[in-house]
Structures are given as C-alpha cells and as structure tokens.
Homo-oligomer: A and B are copies of this chain.
C-alpha cells in the first residue's frame, strides 16, 4: 500500500494547480486506496466512486470548487470529491450515524453544490445555477456529471431539452460506464454504445465506396471526397448525434482514466460557449480488480476484504422481505398467467432477478424511469394483465401522479410492492421511505397494506392479486422475522380486515407494518410494570378496520398509534379521521417521526433516537400513566 503523502497536505482544490501530472497520478492512487480502505470497513458505493477518481481530480484542477459548481448526479460517486475537499479526517464516519453523508450535502460542505440521492436531477439543477449566474453576473463554471444510467430518466431529458433551448454556458459530463446499477436498459443505451453509429456508418461507407471505386477515373480523388464527406458524417453519426440535436456541442468520447486527456479536454472546453456535453468513458470499480470484475456486487456493498475483495457471506438468518417478495411473486406467476413484474432498474434490489430468469417474457426492466414504469403498468392492466411494480418506497415518489392519474383514476388492478418502507439506514434522508402512507392514502380506489412480517407480506400479495383495483403493500428493508412459511400460498384477506394480537384493558396500541413488533415488545415491557396494553395490527392503512378500531377505542378510551413514518398525514392521522367520523373522542397518542427529514444511521439507531423501538414506545406510554407508574416504581425511586 502506498503511503499517503499528497492527500493529507492538500488544503483546498485550488492547490491542485501546483501539482505535476505524475503527482496528480499519485494522488489518484492515494484517493483510490483511501476509498477502498474506508469502504471496506463502512460499506458504501464503491464501484461508482472508483470509476470517477481521475475525472474528479481533473474537474477540481480545472474548475475548482467552491467557486465553480460541480453537480454530481445521484451523488453516490462523490467519495473522491469529499476527500479532495477537506473531508479526509472524517472520512471514516462515512454513512454512519452523525457522520459524513454518502452523498453530496450542502450543509456538510460549501464544495457540495446540490443535495442529491435520487437520480437524474443534475442537468436541471445545474441549468438553474447557470441561469442564476447569468442573471447575477458571475463567472463561475457549472458542471453536471451524469451517468449513462441516469440519462434514461425523463427528467434528464427535460433538462437537456431546456438547456439546448437556453443556449447558456453549461458543461454536462456524461459519465458513460455502459452500465448503471444493472445492465443498462433502453434504446438510448445502444445509442451510446455506438452500435447504431457504426452500423449506419459502415453501410453508408460501403455503398458509397463501391460506387466510387467502380468509376474509371478520378477514383482516388473521389475517395478523398468521400472521406471528407465521411468526416462530416461522423459528426452526425457518432453518439454525439443525439446531443448535437439537442443543441449541445458534443466532445468525445474520451478516456476517463487518462488524466492528461481529461485535463486537456476540460481546458479546451472551458473556453467554449453554450451548452457542451463531454462524453467520458469510465470503468466502474477501476483500480480494484474485484470491483472491476463484479461492479454490480460492489455498487453498494457492505464491509469486505480490501485486499482480496472477499465479501463475507451473509450470516445465516431469516430471508429478507425482498427475497420473500421475489419468491412469492414467482409462485403467484406460476399459478396465474396474468402476473407480470416491472422494475425501474432495480431487478436485484427488488428481488426480481429469479423472476426475470424464470419468466423473461413477463418481466420488464424499464431502466431508471419510474413514471413510465407506472403508466406502462396501467397499460398492461387495462389490457388484461396483473402487473406488479416492485419499487422502493422513496422512488415511487417520482411517479405520484402516474399512480393517481393513470392507475387510481381508472381503478386498474396494478399492484405496488413498496420495498424499503420506513427507515432504511445508511443512505439517509433521500432514501427513507417515510412519506408513503401520506402520499398514497388519500388516493381514491387504492387499497394499501403494511404487512408486519414475511407471512403477512405473502398474504398481502395474494390479497392484491385477487383484488380488482389498485393495491399497494409496503414492507421494510432487511430481514424478516424468520417465520416458517408454509409451502402453499396463504388465503387472501378480506379487504380492510385487521387483527388483535394482544389483549389488554388499559389501552390499545394500534401499530402498523414493521412497527407492530416493536409495539408487541413494548406491551411486554409495560406488562412487567403492571400496565396491560392491547395491540392491534390493522394490516390495512386503507381502508382501516373501522369496526375493530372503533371497538378498541370504546373499550379502552386510550389509543396509541405507532408507525415508522412522519406523523403528518400518516397512519395515526388516518386513525384520528376515523374516530372523528365515528364521533369518538378517545385519548390518542401518535408515535412516529417528526416533521423533519430523518438523518442517516442504522435502523436500530434511528428507531432508538426517535423513540420508535420497544423501549421508546414503552417510555412514551408510561408517561400517560404517571400515577400508576410512580406507584409501581415507588419503592425504588422514593427518597
């Protein structure tokens, strides 16, 4: 391993100007080692960050921040950026509770131009900065760095289209690694892969040349003409065609790991006016052979051996919710030809890889295109199929209107499998799935379940397939409880049918989804202190089990709702609506997340911090019974 020499002494990106090319290359190696060593411990987005080490160096050398602005798309590739901009010492806290974010974050550093986490926002945001700069009269450069995968999303296209229209000085770097998280999808990727280019070009060349060489004289001159024409043509037929068409000056493709080539290109481009797109070819995982060989594995990875790249086998434990979902959907598909599955560039993350292998004709990876995923599903559904859109809760936010306008309005039987509902952990505020009850429960026609365990997840799925309308079910990131699942699929549930899991006369905890088990534990803790809390799982966030909830409220007069979701407009809010509609006025304590974005941290840490683990829930309930608790604790705490 190389000794760190340059990196610790670098105080600002401006100092890169003083380094020679060999020194910059050494620095690249230092950055790589730092990233590999750290991510080997913390886990994180390794492959993307290794792929842009040289690009980051070159950008900071030519366009140093914070004067200039670099807008990283998605942002999971910004580790070298963080290291070059004063965050070497804290780098070990990457993605930990209260540590460095895994993404650019304006509140973390003036060098971070734009907060990010979801993909495809960079061109739009950078164009906004460019327009503001020109209004305010600044001289800074604004650079958006976007991967070929992110370019699939419509938002990126909207940004390109507007940028071409405005004709302002904007630099877009297309970081083309010919692979987003999964193999790239869509016609666009063949555009970029230059396959079409060469096909057309070869055809044109062959036709022209054979005609020209057949002429008796001037053959040589004609070939020269033809070659000159070819040169003109090349400008049209390279991948640049698309971008030139949108009004961009296209430069490239260039090798993203050759610092000299990058520096020269960026210096040249810094003198160009108008929108420029630089096509840079990079390799995910560059410089760490295991990651180069298996970039999908090292896209987002847990701790690994920094020498061998060995990733410790997952501890034997319960299957993840994601895996149970994938297996169950396969079982449903075997029994019903109408079942088809859709992912937006996350076949692995959503557990659909086995489904894709088993039913290739009934599986659609639409690329990073959440809006299309949902409207496409609506089209499938109104033509007789039963599509399931498997998507992270946080990413379905990008298709809110498609769910409303294309699915719910027509009452179409599309199922939404919302993975990563609730607190997700290290990815932090951009990725927590803590708004879904609120943004979905007001949609007419939608049925919305939140299974508390893997068995209930299966019941949700069976129920969804039987239901003749839109249906969402939301489950958490991570492992199930390890319940033994029967070979046969369970029976569907009646819509809106909840379940009382525990008796208790002193009050009722109505908990939903993964909060149910924290609530059961809390009830157990409280029982030891002499409080008897019932626990109800309504199973359905919409429609609520009106009879059950009403009866429990009337019986006990005290209701505590628990959800891993913001309190505003959430599950507890729905319960309050129900009681108001029924003319009931029980005391209601709502436990959930506050009206703020939730930081990164492990699920366990965050639940503890927000009082949503068993201890926190029990503590909040205990305060509702000051007299009984002080009596109970009296012996120990009395003076």
Contacts and interface: CB of A to CB of B under 8 A. Distances in A.
A242 interface: yes
A438 B444 contact: no
B242 A245 contact: yes
Nearest to A228: B211
Given A154-B156, A217-B217, A577-B567, A208 B225 contact: yes
Interface stretch (A253-261, A284-292, A395-403, A475-483): A395-403
A242 B161 CA distance: 13
B187 A204 contact: no
B232 A241 contact: no
A215 interface: yes
B566 A162 contact: no
A136 B340 CA distance: 12
Interface stretch (A80-88, A118-126, A449-457, A514-522): A118-126
A364 interface: yes
A488 B486 CA distance: 73
Interface stretch (A43-51, A532-540, A582-590): A582-590
Interface in A365-386: 366-367, 369, 371-372, 375-385
A151 B409 CA distance: 23
Given A245-B241, A379-B114, A186 B165 contact: yes
A275 to B, nearest CB: 9
A422 interface: no
Contacts of A439: 400, 438-439, 442
Contacts of A126: 379
Interface stretch (A188-196, A493-501, A625-633): A188-196
Q: Which of A217, A233, A574, A577 has the most CB of B within 10 A?
A: A577
A155 interface: yes
B375 A405 contact: no
Interface stretch (A127-135, A296-304, A307-315, A611-619): A127-135
A429 interface: yes
B383 A129 contact: yes
Nearest to A396: B401
Contact of A246 (B191, B383, B429): B191
A1 interface: no
Contacts of A187: 160-165, 245-247
A595 interface: yes
A410 B164 contact: no
A207 interface: yes
A381 to B, nearest CB: 7
Nearest to A580: B588
A487 interface: no
Given A153-B154, A397-B404, A162 B366 contact: yes
Given A132-B383, A242-B242, A410 B158 contact: no
A128 B373 CA distance: 9
A411 to B, nearest CB: 9
A235 to B, nearest CB: 9
A442 B165 contact: no
Interface string A595-614: 11100000000000000000
Contacts of A340: 131, 135
A117 interface: yes
Interface in A213-245: 215, 217-218, 221-222, 225, 228-229, 232-233, 236-237, 241-242, 245
A200 interface: yes
A306 interface: no
Q: How many copies, total?
A: 2
A400 B402 contact: no
Nearest to A196: B245
Contacts of A155: 154, 371-372, 375, 402
Interface in A389-417: 397-398, 400-402, 404-406, 408-410
Contacts of A228: 211
Contact of A128 (B186, B215, B379, B400): B379
Contact of A200 (B131, B160, B190, B236): B236
Q: Which of A158, A384, A444, A572 has the most CB of B within 10 A?
A: A158
A550 interface: no
Given A225-B212, A247-B187, A401-B400, A379 B576 contact: no
A183 B87 CA distance: 48
Contact of A576 (B124, B232, B566, B573): B573
Interface string A175-201: 000000000011110110000100010
Nearest to A379: B128
A208 B379 CA distance: 48
Interface string A345-379: 00000000000000001101011010110011111
A570 interface: yes
A115 interface: yes
Contacts of A580: 572, 576, 588-590
A106 B410 contact: yes
Contacts of A204: 229, 232
Contacts of A161: 152, 186-188, 367, 369
Contact of A402 (B121, B200, B375, B381): B121
Nearest to A570: B442
A163 B207 CA distance: 30
A324 to B, nearest CB: 25
Contacts of A136: 383-385
17 contacts: A106-B382, A115-B406, A121-B375, A127-B376, A131-B376, A155-B371, A158-B371, A159-B376, A162-B372, A212-B225, A217-B218, A241-B241, A397-B404, A397-B405, A408-B597, A435-B443, A580-B588
| A-B pairs with lowest CB-CB distance, top 10 | A154-B154, A128-B379, A164-B187, A132-B383, A158-B372, A124-B375, A158-B369, A585-B585, A397-B401, A442-B568
Given A125-B379, A397-B404, 6 more contacts: A106-B410, A128-B379, A136-B385, A157-B158, A161-B369, A165-B185
